[in-house]
Structure 1
């Protein structure tokens, strides 16, 4: 005797009935967005766009000083640009020096830990930890730089910069914020609904 076969659903991660969506906080399905920030929030209104962050910060500070519920505001940086500032050339010697400095801090930390439990001269334990850390840091720094094969012979620092800073508020509070903003001498460039 044979039973009729019924198709079974394939197992999927997440709570039952969640479909293909991964679970979010508290196990609830997380909504998929279009990459433009959180979806499904309260509608907001941009009350002004400013060329720099301090100007946008002054606007929010002015709203806070006038008892506006600033928990309904946001400063949104737009037109983001990644800027990598080159600080200098990296050589094997410089890499070893940087590694020695990092290793010395780690050795100092380990020396302090061992020094707490030492019966004899704890200063000698700290000094030995510092020296050993500096030596190993220099060795590892030089080896790590040599392994790059000259592909990145410079040091740099990266930062994100925004072209404009928009101040947004919840739509139901936009008129109140605009009225308070009118009392300020700093004029926004535009107001748009979102």
Structure 2
């Protein structure tokens, strides 16, 4: 699988500030019969972005734990009751939901307590590229450069 993300002697056709611009360049190459199966778009100059979504408190942590435990317990209860005979559907589902809430609240409390206040906020993270380089197999470099030189709106002095 790793071979699909590699080229033999890759050469740079250009560096773009936006992914849409790199995609436009490759689309232009494709429209002009360039063998685009020999092209890679590589995100470079990676940075991690973290968006803080809220403050964590004991009540928020315990409520989130209870909510996730409830959903998991309901799911397990429905599955268990589907394969068990003789027991009440509602009793099985409610029992599993209660057990799920208890275990999830305990584990959420242990996890939050282990941080000792060092991370009292919730967040989401992602890695983003700030540049996008279009690479091409070395034997197609001249053809790709010639075509991209004709790309409408392309800076003729760009790499």
Query: Rg bigger for which structure?
Result: 1
Rate the CA distance shift 1:125–1:182 in 2: closer, same or farther, 3 A: farther
Aligned to 1:11: none
Which secondary structure state, in structure 2, belongs to the residue aligned with residue 81 of structure 1? Answer: strand
Q: Distance in 1 between matches of 2:8 and 2:81?
A: 56
Q: How many residues align?
A: 153
CA RMSD of aligned residues (A): 2.5
The partner residue of 1:126 within 72, 93, 106 is 93
Rate the CA distance shift 1:170–1:135 in 2: closer, same or farther, 3 A: same
Query: Given the two structures, how large is their TM-score scaled by the length of structure 1?
Result: 0.67
Which secondary structure state, in structure 2, belongs to the residue aligned with residue 111 of structure 1? Answer: helix
1:102-126 alpha-carbon deviations (Å, 9 max, x no partner): 2223213311320221235434423
1:52-100 alpha-carbon deviations (Å, 9 max, x no partner): 1122122223333444332211111222112222111111111112212
1:11-65 alpha-carbon deviations (Å, 9 max, x no partner): xxxxxxxxxxxxxx9xxxxxxxxxxxx7xx6112211111111221222233334
Q: Distance in 2 between matches of 1:95 and 1:49?
A: 44
1:123-159 alpha-carbon deviations (Å, 9 max, x no partner): 4423432332123212221232122211111111122
The structure in which a higher percent of residues are helix is 2
Matched ranges for 1:1-194 at <5 A: 42-119=8-85, 120-187=87-154, 190-191=158-159
Q: Distance in 1 between matches of 2:153 and 2:63?
A: 49
Which secondary structure state, in structure 1, belongs to the residue aligned with residue 130 of structure 2? Answer: strand
Q: Distance in 2 between matches of 1:131 and 1:116?
A: 18
Q: Distance in 2 between matches of 1:75 and 1:111?
A: 47
Tell me which of the two structures has the higher relative contact order, counting C-alpha pairs closer than 8 angstroms and 6 or more residues apart.
2
Contact 1:86 1:154 in 2 (8 A): yes
